Amino acid sequence: DAMVIQNPRYQVTQFGKPVTLSCSQTLNHNVMYWYQQKSSQAPKLLFHYYDKDFNNEADTPDNFQSRRPNTSFCFLDIRSPGLGDAAMYLCATSRDLAGGLLAKNIQYFGAGTRLSVL
Amino acid sequence: TQLLEQSPQFLSIQEGENLTVYCNSSSVFSSLQWYRQEPGEGPVLLVTVVTGGEVKKLKRLTFQFGDARKDSSLHITAAQPGDTGLYLCAGPGAGSYQLTFGKGTKLSVIP
């Protein structure tokens, strides 16, 4: 019944070694988000896709990239992970309906990927 | 900038006690969401409140949206260890698809 699925749940990488995190959804939502969450902090939005349109947050480092090959899948690429990038990475989805002002603000989260950088 | 302030930041209580956590802002929100996040998991949506003064109940959890839609509260009756987690409030952010999150209340319910 999982609706937003993130793989892997735990990822260990080396300093500077590229890593990709994946997210898939069965909700057919048109908006997908990637968040970074550090310990005991609120999630911080990195970027989102509205359909195929990519929207980067102004303070998201260039080190973070994303791909969305189709509606169901979205990937987070970290090109050269640093120690400060160790965190929980959360994928979320929402739907935007014509006139549906409320629906797009309700986001459904995956279980997250815990990234460790050695 | 729309900010959501949550209090208290940390709360540790005994099983069976009641508690209330708060989410406050100086800005008006069209809606507020409450999420619970268990350790090592993603946030799970508990409720959305939309109308000023609205009260919603989810078993032992009672959510209220302030009349002016600037604040919300979550009251838990007879807390259980399964209620342990980080409670986050969130509302529409400045950007069209942004959610503004509070910093959360970390609740520990001790058996």
Lowest-pLDDT choice from A89-93, A100-104, A114-118: A100-104
Query: Confidence band (pLDDT; 50, 70, 90) for B99?
Result: confident
Query: Confidence band (pLDDT; 50, 70, 90) for A39?
Result: confident
The predicted structure's pLDDT at residue A103: 61
How far apart CA A92 and CA B70 sit, in angstroms, is 25
Question: Both tokens of residue B107?
Answer: 């609740």
Q: Tell me the Cα Rg of chain B.
A: 13
What pairs with residue B81 in β-bridges?
Answer: none
Lowest-pLDDT choice from A23-27, A55-59, A88-92: A55-59
How far apart CA A109 and CA A106 sit, in angstroms, is 10
SS3 A84: helix
Average pLDDT over residues A46-60: 91
Sign for the CA dihedral angle at B9, B22, B45, A29 comes to negative
Inter-chain contact A102–B50, Cβ cutoff 8 Å?
A: yes
Question: Both tokens of residue B38?
Answer: 């268990």
The predicted structure's pLDDT at residue A98: 58
Beta strand spans in B1-111 (E):
5-7, 10-14, 19-24, 32-37, 44-49, 55-58, 61-65, 71-76, 85-92, 99-101, 105-110
Instruction: Look at the block and give the residue holding tokens 């999420």.
Output: B35
Over chain B, what is the mean pLDDT? 93
Considering only CA atoms, which of A65, A76, A73, A52 is closest in space to residue A5?
A73
What pairs with residue B24 in β-bridges?
Answer: B5, B71
Between residues B47 and B95, the one the model is more confident about: B47
CB B90 within 8 A of CB B108: no
User: How many other C-beta atoms are found inside a 10 Å radius of the C-beta of residue B27?
Assistant: 13
Which of A7, A105, A108 should be substituted to probe chain B, the one whose Cβ sees the most B Cβ atoms within 10 Å?
A: A105
| pLDDT above 70 coverage of chain A, percent | 92
Q: Would the pLDDT of A100 be above 80?
A: no
Contact list in B for residue A6 (CB cut-off 8 A) is 42
Lowest-pLDDT choice from A7-16, B44-53, B87-96: B87-96
Closest residue in A to B30 (Cα) is: A102
Inter-chain contact B50–A108, Cβ cutoff 8 Å?
A: no
The predicted structure's pLDDT at residue A88: 96
The predicted structure's pLDDT at residue A41: 86
CB B11 within 8 A of CB B21: yes
The predicted structure's pLDDT at residue A1: 64
For A24, A36, A101, B3, the CA distances from A88, given in Å and listed in that order, are 17, 6, 29, 22
Query: Confidence band (pLDDT; 50, 70, 90) for B96?
Result: low
The predicted structure's pLDDT at residue A101: 57
Q: Would the pLDDT of B94 be above 90?
A: no
The predicted structure's pLDDT at residue A40: 78
How far apart CA A78 and CA A20 sit, in angstroms, is 6
Considering only CA atoms, which of A32, A105, A95 is closest in space to residue A69?
A32
Question: Both tokens of residue B98?
Answer: 């942004």
Query: Confidence band (pLDDT; 50, 70, 90) for B32?
Result: very high
Question: Both tokens of residue A21?
Answer: 């995190």
Inter-chain contact A107–B45, Cβ cutoff 8 Å?
A: yes
